[in-house]
Structures are given as C-alpha cells and as structure tokens.
Amino acid sequence: MNSALNLVNVSLEYPDGGSTLKALDGVDMAVKQGEFLSLVGPSGSGKSSLLAVAATLINPTAGLVVIDGQDVSALKEAERTELRRDKVGIIFQQPNLLPALTAVEQLLIREHLRGNAVKEARRTAEDLLDVVGLTAAMLKRPHQLSGGQRQRVNIARALMGSPTVLLVDEPTAALDHERSESIVRLLRRVTDEFRTATVMVTHDTEFLPLTDAVAAMRDGRISRASVPSAQTS
Ligand SMILES: Nc1ncnc2c1ncn2[C@@H]1O[C@H](COP(=O)(O)OP(=O)(O)OP(=O)(O)O)[C@@H](O)[C@H]1O
C-alpha cells in the first residue's frame, strides 16, 4: 500500500428505525500523493459519508482506513485526533470563518489554542495566503472578502498543518462559474505543489478534466471512471 489514503472494503451503517441503512457498502479507494480525485454521485449516494470516514471523523462499521501507512482503526481516540490534526486537511462547503478575525488570524487559531509560539506559524500562514492569491487581503475580515476569497482562506487554513490528505466537500457550491473554476484550479495547483492526496466531492462535472481521476458513487458503492477529457492543468 503506497497510497497516502487507502480505504479497503469500507462499510458504514446508520441505524434506520428498526433496521440499518448502508451508507457505504464495501468501498475500496486509493489515492496517491499528488493525486487529485473527484468524487461524484447522486444525492444520498454516500459521498459525504465517505469523506467523513476518510477524515477519521466517523468510524466505519467494517473495513480499513489507512492514512500515510497508519491503520486508523488500530488507534485510540486521542491518537486518531492527533492523526487527523497532523495528516488531514478538511475543506467544507462553507468556510466557517470567525467574523472577528483577519484572514491571517483564521490560519493561526489552532496555534493560539495550543499555546504555541505564533511567530513561525505566522510566516507559514502568510506564505499560504500568498499561494492562494490573498497577499493583499491578509488583514481583511470575512465580511470584507468575496465568497471566492473566503473559500481561498478556507483552503489556506486546511494546508496549515502540511496535511498528507486533503478532503474537500463541494468547494464551489456557493460560487459563480468563474470563481468555481478558479477554486478548482487552485486545488489542482496545491495538490501538485504540496503533494497532497486530494479528494473533492463535486457536482460540477465540467471541472472534472482538471482532476486526475473520477470516482462515481451510487447506493454506497464506488467505481472509478475515466476523466472526461485530457487533463488541462
Ligand atoms: N447521520 C446519519 N444518520 C442516518 N443516516 C444518514 C446519516 N448521514 C447520512 N445518512 C444517510 O446515508 C446515506 C448517504 O448519505 P450521504 O450524506 O453520505 O450522501 P451524499 O452522497 O453526500 O448526499 P448529498 O449529495 O445530498 O450530500 C443517505 O441515505 C443518508 O440519508
């Protein structure tokens, strides 16, 4: 297993009245460093469940989740939290930025909470905001940023811990076409630059050619499909 993220025969069941609902049904998925995988499928097919399991936020009912060679199921709760913090970057649809903080401060919350020295981290944060094209907006607060800029802060924040795995849930859902495309192009670039294993849930099929591979979900099962046309990064 030389993939950064490996799901092996993963199933996830939710209680559903007297019976159970199988949100994931024997899912196998492997994503290498520097690979950008898009995950598509109809509503209710299991995409968010898969991201939550890959993010170690939910334990699968069966199967293995392996991140950077570590079998997550073998870890205690505290170790799993640590692994998530060190190896997994999560980008949700809504940036969830704190209204009172500037862009650069959004990236430093964790350091503040952990009582770490912020000076070094601040340099990293500024570099990352530069990578996502927000050099001029570092001291702005969320209400002074556009939706696309807020999503860029969200992406930079997810990269703060140098994650191995980057999990992205519909990053363009709240954006217009032009901004959506630039966000997916940015995710392509950071995947290349930071060598993350990136999984992006998306409904925007037109951006699939910017990714390396497409996985399609249906009724909790997954299949790899080919990318619609040549890669254009
Ligand atoms: N916490 C939960 N408890 C019970 N059932 C759940 C829970 N979360 C999801 N489900 C069910 O699991 C199945 C998969 O849901 P999931 O949210 O993973 O799908 P999805 O593909 O992400 O859908 P969407 O595109 O609408 O976000 C659905 O049938 C859903 O109703």
ipTM of the complex: 0.95
The reported pTM is 0.92
Point out the least confidently predicted range of 16-20, 72-76, 114-118, 150-154.
Answer: 114-118
Q: Half-sphere exposure of residue 202, counting CA atoms within 13 Å on the CB side?
A: 27
Q: How far is the CA of 46 from the centre of ligand 1 (A)?
A: 6
Question: Is residue 11 domain-resident?
Answer: yes
Question: Is residue 143 domain-resident?
Answer: yes
Q: Of all protein residues, whose CA lies closest to atom 17 belonging to ligand 1? A: 48
* pLDDT above 90 for 3: no
Taking the C-alpha atoms of residue 139 and residue 80, their distance in angstroms, rounded to an integer, is 33
> Position of tokens 């500037």?
102
* Structure tokens, 178: 């032009």
Host domain of residue 173: 5-225
pLDDT band at 93 (very low <50, low <70, confident <90, very high): confident
> Does the C-beta of 49 come closer than 6 Å to ligand 1?
yes
Question: Is residue 71 domain-resident?
Answer: yes
Question: Is residue 98 domain-resident?
Answer: yes
Q: Are 132 and 57 in contact (CB under 8 A)?
A: no
Q: Of all protein residues, whose CA lies closest to atom 30 belonging to ligand 1? A: 44
Question: Is residue 232 domain-resident?
Answer: no
Give residues with Cβ within 8 angstroms of 15, minimum separation 6: 21
Burial of 177 (0-12, 13-18, 19+ CB in 10 A): exposed
> Does the C-beta of 154 come closer than 6 Å to ligand 1?
no
What number is the average pLDDT over the span 127-134?
95
Phi, psi of 15 (to 5 degrees): -65, 140
Question: Is residue 104 domain-resident?
Answer: yes
What number is the average pLDDT over the span 18-26?
94
Nearest-5° Cα angle at 108, 85 to 90: 40
Question: Is residue 231 domain-resident?
Answer: no
- Domain count along the chain: 1
Q: State the Cα torsion 178-179-182-186 to the nearest 10°.
A: -170
Other Cβ atoms closer than 10 A to 226: 8
Looking only at the bridges linking them, the beta strands covering 70-71 and 62-67 are antiparallel
Q: What CATH code is carried by the domain that includes residue 146?
A: 3.40.50.300
> Does the C-beta of 202 come closer than 6 Å to ligand 1?
no
> Does the C-beta of 22 come closer than 6 Å to ligand 1?
no
The helix-helix angle for 147-158 and 177-194 (nearest 10°) equals: 20
What number is the average pLDDT over the span 147-157?
94
The chain-wide mean pLDDT, for the chain, equals 91
Q: How far is the CA of 10 from the centre of ligand 1 (A)?
A: 15
Taking the C-alpha atoms of residue 198 and residue 190, their distance in angstroms, rounded to an integer, is 9
What pLDDT is recorded for position 233? 44
* pLDDT above 90 for 226: no
Question: Is residue 68 domain-resident?
Answer: yes
pLDDT in tens, 154-210: 999 999 989 999 999 999 888 888 889 999 999 999 999 999 999 999 998 899 999
According to DSSP, the residues that pair with 21 across neighbouring strands are 14
* pLDDT above 60 for 232: no
Q: Are 54 and 64 in contact (CB under 8 A)?
A: no
